[in-house]
Amino acid sequence: MNRNEKVELAGALKEKFMKAQVAIFADYKGLSATQADNLRKALRATKAEVKVLKNNVARLITKDGSMGAEAKELMDSVVGPTLVAFAMEDPAAAAKVVYKFAQDNEALKLKDSLMGQRRVDASGIEALAKLPSKEVLIGKLLATMNAPASNLVGVLAAVPRSLVTVLAAIEKKKANPQA
């Protein structure tokens, strides 16, 4: 690959880094072609894509400094074969796929990654992977927002219910005064 091709590739990858909600870095040394294809397929289902990041191209991406100091520091530390998963829509879903794949395949090891332009260590990606799905989180939020209204309805319904219970007890006592 000549210098112009590397610069062109760096520009295309920089655009992906800027658009991605999270860019998950992993060392893939020892991963077979079949395993890499399986990872790509699994990530494609989450609308994430995988690219291989070469050391020199990584440094070209942050050469102008527009991605921030943390991103530059991370790119400068890229050594060896590095796979990058770009999650454009749901960062947690992509993190779940990569984390599970890393658990099942010892050849894939998570590295420090980028969330936006901030550096996140491998344990941060693991924490992101362990988050509940977006749908579950939305359900919990809606339940929390609905709780005060439900509790108010319960309290307001308790007053007439108590009155009806007392009146029923009085009626029963009048009907059977010896009990």
- Amino acid of residue 94: A
pLDDT at 179: 60
Average pLDDT, integer, range 118-135: 90
Q: Which residue has the tokens 């749901």?
A: 90
82 and 160 part of one domain: no
pLDDT, position 117 = 83
pLDDT tens digit string along 16-58? 999 999 999 999 888 888 999 999 999 999 999 999 888 888 8
Asked if residue 118 and residue 137 are part of one domain, the reply reads no
Per-residue CA distances from 119 to 48, 122, 126, 151 (Å): 19, 10, 14, 43
If asked whether residues 82 and 48 sit together in one domain, one would say: yes
Going by C-alpha positions, the residue among 117, 119, 115, 108 that lies closest to residue 131 is 115
| pLDDT reading at 80 higher than 90 | no
Domain housing 152: 132-179
How far is Cα 151 from Cα 144, in angstroms, rounded to an integer?
11
Q: Model confidence at 177, in pLDDT bands (50, 70, 90)? A: confident
Domain count, the chain: 2
